[in-house]
Amino acid sequence: MSLNAKTVRIAGSRPKKKAVSRQNKDNLYARIDESKFNRYVVHDLPRYRKYLSEGGAAIYSADELDALEEAGVSDRLPPRATGYYLDLAKRSDAVKNLIKARPEEMDDLSGEADPSNQLKYSPIPGLLHKYELCLVYVVRTCSSWCRYCYRSDFLTGKTGKDTASIHEVKDYIETHNAKVETGEITDKPKVREVLLSGGDPMVLSNRNLFDYLNGLAEAGVEVIRIGTKEMAFFPERFDDNFFEMLDLFHEVHPNVLVAFMVHFTHADEFLRLNEAGEYVRNERGGYLRNPLVERAATRLKSRPFVTLENQTPIIDGVNDDADALRLMQRELKRMGVNNHYFFQCREIEGFRAFAVPVEKAWKLHAESQHGLSGIERSRFALSTEAGKMEMVSVIDGDERLRALGGELGEALADGLVIFRLHRTPYSDRQSDIVIARRNPDALWISGYEDRILYDGRVHDAGDKWAPLLAALAPALLQAAE
């Protein structure tokens, strides 16, 4: 599939056919109520100045706001947060660093405008079909914006991606699945699973969210994932009206599983913090949870058609600490949330300001697994264009091996990194590996591209060792003479 005029649509021109979606469903939509939330969102530097002058949480000093203005951080991504999250940030450095803009974001804007070349996998506007599942953009904002946001190009509209029309999505899935059944499409299975993303689907109204859920279920989708950080940014969103809508959806489509792909980055987002920013313990020494988050999680997990999975990147100054990562994984599992992925910070523009080097992030994650049980553990991966590359191991080198000479000697002396293609769009490459010479400064897979010895990402089996063979060519020639 290649990028064509159909995949890019002027933002905001999505065909809106609510009347069609909701036709003959008055009985359903009449049962969905909306809530009036007061998220009190502080968006961009002028609002922060006002918020500060009104006595809001002092996340920035006036001087810091001047420095951010001068650096032009809003051109990359305006700072944005809910009053709820800002209040939490007063008591937590991790939370503060997650939403606080840094002038150095603008020092080096190298990075991908469209991370992992997503548009290449977009057959219709707002829908990505890379793996067996589809990702659907349903809304262009979140109630707060993480500085490391890997969808910042979408939030700011810089790459021209639009939200999806549920009618076009339904049509695409039904047509794709019919073609798989007749054998017209053989390189991808039927679409059974869809991830609703954005932005954050949980900032949609209940009726708009129901449009997407119901439309996907009508198209035959069996698992709908909802990618959301709203349990951290504004947990009150998970209120009675939301759960009534969710239960109504289950009543109409009892066989569809709803997986909440939540995004907690640090335990400070869901454990109870006192005014001094310390965790509050119960009489048995266990950790108490933030009551709003706990209530949302408890109500979600009490529904047998719902699962909860956490995924988050490892970010400088936020969660780059093995003990904090371990505590988060342990306490999430206790709250009923499965630990799915930890990711390397993606190579968005400006990512150098908050990315942790790949090998350091791997080490932190590996250390954090120590002491966790099998059901508490997670994977550390890079979400690259070639697929989700799990970082399996970093092997220390042995200086004595440099005597072998050439690229192989250098690699064995410096040490190796090993990635495994955990998820790939190509069935012939599933679970293959990539071996590269270490690079402690690498922030992304691009830092290893000129050090690769074995490349399981390439299609032709004969080419996988090509980088090593090229490095060894002089020695091989000599041996052959």
Contact range with ligand SF4 by CB under 6 A, out of 7-15, 20-28, 122-130, 138-146: 138-146
CA atoms of 35 and 102, how far apart (whole Å):
35
CB of 146 to ligand SF4, least distance (A): 3
Pairing relationship of beta strands 415-423 and 433-437 according to DSSP bridges: antiparallel
Residue with token string 């119960």: 282
User: What is 423-465 written as a DSSP string?
Assistant: E-S-GGGTT-EEEEE--TT-SSGGGGGGGEEEETTSS-GGGTT
Q: Looking at beta carbons only, is 164 or 434 nearer to ligand SF4? A: 164
- How many whole angstroms from its chain centre is CA 419? 19
470, with CB counted inside 10 A (0-12, 13-18, 19+), is exposed
Q: Which of 39, 76, 96, 151 contacts ligand SF4 by CB under 6 A?
A: 151
Q: Which two tokens stand for residue 409?
A: 């000697």
Q: Does 263 bind ligand SF4 (CB under 6 A)?
A: yes
- Residue 153 as a binder of ligand SF4 (CB under 6 A): the answer is no
Peptide bond into 227 cis (omega under 30): no
Which is closer to ligand SF4, CB of 21 or CB of 311? Answer: 311
147 near ligand SF4, judged by CB under 6 A: no
The answer to whether 149 contacts ligand SF4 (rule: CB under 6 A) is: yes
CB of 131 to ligand SF4, least distance (A): 19
196 versus 471: smaller Cβ distance to ligand SF4? 196
196 or 421: CB nearest ligand SF4: 196
Nearer to ligand SF4, 146 or 173 (CB): 146
CB of 242 or CB of 264, closer to ligand SF4: 264
**Quick one: which of 229, 237, 250, 429 contacts ligand SF4 (CB under 6 A)?**
229
Q: How many residues touch ligand SF4 (CB under 6 A)?
A: 10
Segment (H or E) for 232:
helix 230-233
Nearer to ligand SF4, 200 or 359 (CB): 200
**By CB under 6 A, is residue 271 in contact with ligand SF4?**
no
Alpha-carbon torsion angle 130, 132, 138, 143, nearest 10? -90
Should residue 146 be labelled a site residue for ligand SF4 when binding is judged by CB under 6 A?
yes
Mask for 160-199, x = binds ligand SF4 (CB under 6 A): ---------------------------------------x
Binding residue for ligand SF4, selected from 48, 85, 137, 145, defined by CB under 6 A? 145
Q: Which of 98/221 has CB closer to ligand SF4?
A: 98
Between residues 259 and 434, which has the closer beta carbon with respect to ligand SF4? 259
Draw the binding track, 84-123, toward ligand SF4 (x: CB under 6 A; -: no contact).
----------------------------------------
Question: What Rg, from alpha-carbon coordinates, does the chain have?
Answer: 24
Contact 339, 333 (CB under 8 A): yes
Whether 207 and 29 have beta carbons less than 8 Å apart is answered as yes
Pairing of strands 433-437, 306-314: unpaired
CA distances in angstroms from 91 to 96, 275, 367, listed in the order given? 8, 6, 26
Is the dihedral angle over the CA atoms 150, 155, 156, 161 positive or is it negative? positive
Sole window of 57-65, 141-149, 167-175, 253-261 interacting with ligand SF4 (rule: CB under 6 A): 141-149
Report whether 41 contacts 81 (CB < 8 A): yes
Q: Give contact residues for ligand SF4 (rule: CB under 6 A).
A: 142, 145-146, 149-151, 199-200, 229, 263
